[in-house]
């Protein structure tokens, strides 16, 4: 069927470009994390909190993906980030090609950490390799504790699941142990962290997770 053939061709072409991106990232020794979540789970707020607490000797770059607007890039720039915005103009995920096209605008060779914030979508971005070292999926306590099993693909693909907005737990009917259990059933190799990007609670543990991955990559 034409649809399937075109779909396969797109994914195989994406994998080819992702491998080229990965070569550039690896040559720089930079750790690249691809952030994926529903709209409004707090990816940008977590990036802001992360930028504020990141060890100052680490050079951080941010690639922001959105359907429309440069709002997220404006926000992380206000926290000192160097970065670039990709607007997909309706597209529901970033592709390796979109990332490849903005890399010349960034000084990759000097980078230690590169955060890629994907388009807010829990489904489509899970299929596309961008050349990252790891996908990181964000959940939020306000979304309901039943999400992992309902959107399994991204949890299969992620190295870490972050439960954000734990400061709101007292006001919600959210069972965080259920969410953690569902993630571990889907992917026993996926780590699980709880934090609040707004209050900063748990953010230090997340920064330790990042620096440990960076050490592993460079060892």
Binding site for a copy of itself (CB under 8 A): 2-3, 6, 9-10, 38-41, 66-69, 71, 90, 92, 119-124, 140, 142-144, 146-147, 149-153, 165, 168, 171-173, 198
Question: Going edge to edge, which strands form the sheet with 158-164?
Answer: 82-87, 60-66, 113-117, 31-36, 134-140, 158-164, 191-194
Q: How far is the CB of 188 from a copy of itself (least distance, A)?
A: 19
Can you name the residues that pair with 64 across neighbouring β-strands?
Answer: 85, 117
d(CA 183, CA 5): 32
Q: How far is the CB of 181 from a copy of itself (least distance, A)?
A: 15
Specify the residue, 56 or 171, whose C-beta has the smaller distance to a copy of itself.
Answer: 171
The pair of three-digit structure tokens given for residue 91, joined into one six-digit string: 């597209």
Q: How far is the CB of 151 from a copy of itself (least distance, A)?
A: 6
Specify the residue, 21 or 141, whose C-beta has the smaller distance to a copy of itself.
Answer: 141
Specify the residue, 112 or 143, whose C-beta has the smaller distance to a copy of itself.
Answer: 143
- CA-nearest of 71, 93, 92 to 83 is 71
Q: How far is the CB of 90 from a copy of itself (least distance, A)?
A: 6
The residue with tokens 């890629």 is 116
Q: What is the DSSP letter of 104?
A: G
d(CA 99, CA 91): 14
Backbone angles phi, psi at 177, to 5 degrees: -70, -30
- On whether the CB atoms of residues 164 and 139 are closer than 8 A, the answer is yes
Residues with Cβ within 8 Å of residue 205, at least 6 apart in sequence:
193, 195
Q: How far is the CB of 204 from a copy of itself (least distance, A)?
A: 22
Specify the residue, 139 or 210, whose C-beta has the smaller distance to a copy of itself.
Answer: 139
Specify the residue, 59 or 75, whose C-beta has the smaller distance to a copy of itself.
Answer: 75
Specify the residue, 90 or 104, whose C-beta has the smaller distance to a copy of itself.
Answer: 90
Alpha helices in the chain, H assignment, sequence order: 2-28, 43-53, 71-77, 96-102, 147-150, 152-157, 176-186, 203-218
Q: How far is the CB of 30 from a copy of itself (least distance, A)?
A: 27
């Amino acid at each position: 069927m034409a649809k399937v053939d075109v779909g396969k061709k797109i994914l195989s072409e994406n994998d080819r470009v992702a491998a080229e991106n990965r070569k550039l990232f690896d040559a720089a020794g930079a750790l690249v994390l691809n952030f994926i979540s529903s709209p409004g789970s707090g990816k940008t707020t977590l990036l802001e909190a992360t930028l504020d607490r990141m060890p100052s000797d680490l050079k951080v770059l941010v690639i922001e993906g959105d359907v429309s607007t440069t709002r997220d890039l404006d926000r992380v720039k206000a926290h000192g980030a160097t970065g670039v915005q990709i607007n997909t103009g309706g597209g529901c995920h970033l592709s390796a090609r979109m990332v490849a096209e903005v890399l010349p605008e960034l000084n990759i060779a000097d980078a230690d950490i590169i955060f890629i914030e994907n388009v807010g979508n829990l489904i489509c971005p899970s299929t596309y390799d961008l050349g990252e070292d790891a996908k990181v999926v964000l959940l939020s306590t306000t979304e309901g504790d039943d999400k992992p099993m309902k959107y399994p693909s991204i949890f299969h693909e992620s190295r870490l699941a972050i439960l954000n907005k734990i400061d709101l737990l007292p006001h919600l009917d959210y069972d965080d142990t259920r969410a953690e259990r569902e993630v571990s059933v889907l992917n026993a190799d996926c780590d699980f962290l709880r934090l609040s990007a707004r209050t900063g609670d748990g953010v230090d543990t997340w920064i330790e997770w990042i620096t440990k991955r960076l050490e592993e990559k460079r060892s």
